[in-house]
């Protein structure tokens, strides 16, 4: 098509905003950024960026994630676009929400802190700029939805984790206590866990066996989906 066809339409600012989840201490957390520049200095905000002329939205999201966490292999998926005319009083700007799941480490936590970013418990989030609180709500909703039909955990938990830890992730996400016997039975039946010889003794005197995900089987299950029934709806 020729450029002239397009000339009649107006161009818009296009941004990405990342809704970044982590899991630590039995708590689901979200990384938010404290603006250190005017305008809106001191306000909390999701981490985002404009989509530049020479990059895709996905690339923009990855760029921002890399910058704030130092990681370049982060799980990230598009959530939805936010395009209400008045959503940004500064200028007409649509934003593509992307949610990301990251494995918290000391290293990436420190880097984030340097950038003025902070991990908040999802249940204790401050007010965020613009429509960012809505984005978080939508992302949480999506995450719950995903976890209902697809395995979750590989991206959020440390490489080696215990079954009680995994259960806490599910309980936190769904805000429900689950039965340990049934949880264990179901998770093991999925055939995506590899039991290690080691134990993690930080949580109890007895210690809990460490597990790893079987990456290949995890991916397969994530492709086909299943019904994750751990409690009556």
Which residues here bind DNA, judged by CB under 7 A? 162-164, 179-182, 184-186, 189, 199, 201, 203-209, 227, 229-232
From the list its own copies, DNA, none, partner contacted by residue 96 (C-beta under 5 to 8 A by kind): its own copies
Q: Decide whether 34 or 148 has the Cβ nearer to DNA.
A: 148
Rounded to an integer, what distance in angstroms lies between the CA atom of residue 15 and that of residue 156? 25
Question: By C-alpha distance, which of 91, 99, 101 is closest to 71?
Answer: 101
Question: According to the binding rule CB under 8 A, does residue 54 interact with its own copies?
Answer: yes
Partner whose footprint covers residue 181, from DNA, its own copies, none (CB < 5 to 8 Å by kind)? DNA
Q: Which is nearer to its own copies, 141 or 185 (CB)?
A: 141
Strands of the 27-34 sheet, one edge to the other = 44-45, 27-34, 117-121
Query: CA 164, CA 153: separation in Å to the nearest integer?
Result: 12
Q: How far is the CB of 91 from its own copies (least distance, A)?
A: 5
Looking at the chain, how many residues does it have?
233
Tokens 């938010």, residue?
32
What stretch of H or E contains 102? strand 93-102
Residue placing its CB nearer to its own copies in the complex, 129 or 157: 129
At closest approach, how far in Å is the CB of 21 from DNA?
A: 22
Min. distance of Cβ 173 from its own copies in angstroms? Answer: 15
**Each residue of 192-211: b (16+ CB within 10 Å) or e?**
bbeeeeeebeeeeeeebebb
For residue 209, how far is the Cα from the chain centroid?
A: 26
> What residues contact 184, with CB distance under 8 A and at least 6 apart?
163, 167
Rounded to a whole number of angstroms, the minimum distance from the CB of residue 150 to its own copies is 10
User: Restricting to residues 134-153, which ones interact with its own copies according to CB under 8 A?
Assistant: 145, 148-149
Out of DNA, its own copies, none, what residue 221 binds, judged by CB under 5 to 8 A for its kind, is none
Query: What residue ranges bind its own copies (CB under 8 A)?
Result: 1-3, 5-6, 9-14, 39-40, 50-58, 78, 80-81, 83-85, 88-94, 96, 145, 148-149, 224-227, 229, 233
């Amino acid at each position: 098509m020729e450029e002239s066809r397009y000339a009649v339409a107006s161009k818009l600012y296009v941004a990405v905003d990342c809704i970044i989840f982590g899991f630590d201490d039995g708590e689901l957390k979200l990384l938010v950024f404290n603006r250190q520049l005017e305008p809106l200095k001191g306000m909390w905000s999701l981490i985002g960026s404009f989509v530049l002329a020479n990059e895709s939205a996905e690339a923009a999201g990855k760029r921002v994630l890399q910058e704030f966490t130092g990681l370049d292999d982060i799980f990230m998926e598009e959530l939805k676009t936010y395009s209400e005319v008045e959503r940004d009083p500064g200028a007409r700007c649509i934003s593509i929400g992307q949610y990301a799941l990251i494995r918290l480490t000391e290293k990436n936590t420190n880097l984030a802190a340097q950038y003025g970013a902070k991990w908040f418990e999802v249940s204790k989030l401050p007010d965020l700029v613009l429509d960012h609180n809505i984005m978080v709500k939508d992302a949480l909703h999506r995450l719950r939805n995903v976890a209902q039909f697809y395995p979750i955990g590989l991206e959020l938990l440390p490489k080696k984790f215990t079954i009680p830890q995994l259960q806490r992730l599910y309980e936190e996400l769904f805000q429900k206590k689950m039965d340990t016997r049934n949880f264990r039975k179901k998770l093991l039946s999925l055939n995506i866990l590899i039991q290690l010889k080691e134990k993690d003794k930080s949580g109890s005197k007895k210690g809990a066996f460490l597990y790893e995900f079987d990456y290949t089987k995890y991916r397969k299950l994530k492709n086909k989906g299943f019904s994750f029934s751990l409690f009556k709806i």
